[in-house]
Structure 1
Amino acid sequence: MQSERIIGLRRLIKLCCWILYILYLFVLFKYLVLDRLHFYGGNRSYNLIPFDSISQYLNNKEKYNNNIWFMNLVGNLIMLMPFGVLLPMLYSELRKLRIFIVLLLGINLSIEIGQYMMGLGSFDVDDVILNASGALAVYLFIWTVLYKTLLRIEAQKPTKQINHNNIQTRGGNR
């Protein structure tokens, strides 16, 4: 009976994760494509120097309005964070750190290359660094906390006591 509840709860959690994942993808598409259609008129700039944009925003904060500064630093840091939770919940093979990192970098580079190719923004290696850092931080935090919590729960489960007096063998009672 309890295992049926656990299975039902797992299915419900997975369904909720799928719903959140699909909603998140729609929001991401709206932000990365639809909202930018009227802003960027074929802008095809790029930055391949790691930490160049980040240091420009941090060292020259007064030159940028707060919205630009915030979106380029904090926005890029949080943009892919949901992947750190949702992808491993939906695909068990993504609970392996190496596989998660490879997929995360693939998604991240696809976004940056897509922005550049469609003229919807620039390719900036610092965006890749910030996006990946945010998603990876969430991944490590969630899975470390979740893993430790699961281990603690497993350790607290009462073990069944075997009553050797009531065990029946093929030949009859002991």
Structure 2
Amino acid sequence: MLKKFYKFIIVPYTVFLLYLMFFGMGRFQYDDNIVRFQPVVSTIWFIKGTVSWFNIVKIVLGNVVMFIPFGFLGWVFPQLKDLKSLIIAFVSAIVIVEALQYFSRMGVFDIDDIILNTLGVYLGWKIFRFIELRLKFLVV
């Protein structure tokens, strides 16, 4: 039942997330193309420059939590049950999305986003593995 629900919801969820990444949360088109390649630096700048802890948690934690569902892609694509395959596929996809944000100027190509999003996928994969092991145990 859980797998069927996931297969049903992951495509609309992905579309919703792409909407947020390009148009949601007060997005606007930047005047210049911006790239941030120094890991952790832009996140530290963001934290230092933000007065509201709610905004810090929403953005930083959101960049992790919103990507947890992609750790379950092995239910849709069996070849992605392996962590290495999943991470390679995900990082490839998120780099393309970040590049599209850069070229459209509807966001920033930020290495921290890639790191935080990938952390979310990894956490999702750990949860996925836990559930898979529990399901095997329950079936036996």
Whether contact under 8 Å (2:29, 2:106) holds in the other structure is yes
Q: CA deviation at 1:52?
A: 0.8
Determine whether 1:48 maps to 2:28.
no
The percentage of aligned residue pairs carrying the same residue is 22
Q: Specify which structure has the bigger relative contact order, considering alpha-carbon pairs within 8 angstroms and separated by 6 or more residues.
A: 2
| 1:126-148 residue CA offsets vs partner (Å, 9 max, x unmatched) | 110000001111111221x1233
Local SS of the residue matching 1:35: coil
Q: TM-score, normalised by structure 1?
A: 0.69
2:71 partner amino acid: G
1:113 partner amino acid: A
CA distance in 1, matches of 2:57, 2:31: 23
Aligned to 2:134: 149
Q: Are residues 82 and 52 of structure 1, via their aligned partners in 2, closer, same or farther at CA, if it must alter by over 3 Å?
A: same
Aligned to 1:92: 78
Whether contact under 8 Å (2:30, 2:107) holds in the other structure is no
| 1:73-112 residue CA offsets vs partner (Å, 9 max, x unmatched) | 1121123211112x11111111011110101101111111
Aligned to 1:160: none
Q: Are residues 93 and 40 of structure 1, via their aligned partners in 2, closer, same or farther at CA, if it must alter by over 3 Å?
A: same
RMSD: 2.3
Unmatched segments (≥5 aa) in structure 2: none
Number of aligned positions between the proteins:
139
Q: TM-score, normalised by structure 2?
A: 0.84
Larger radius of gyration: 1
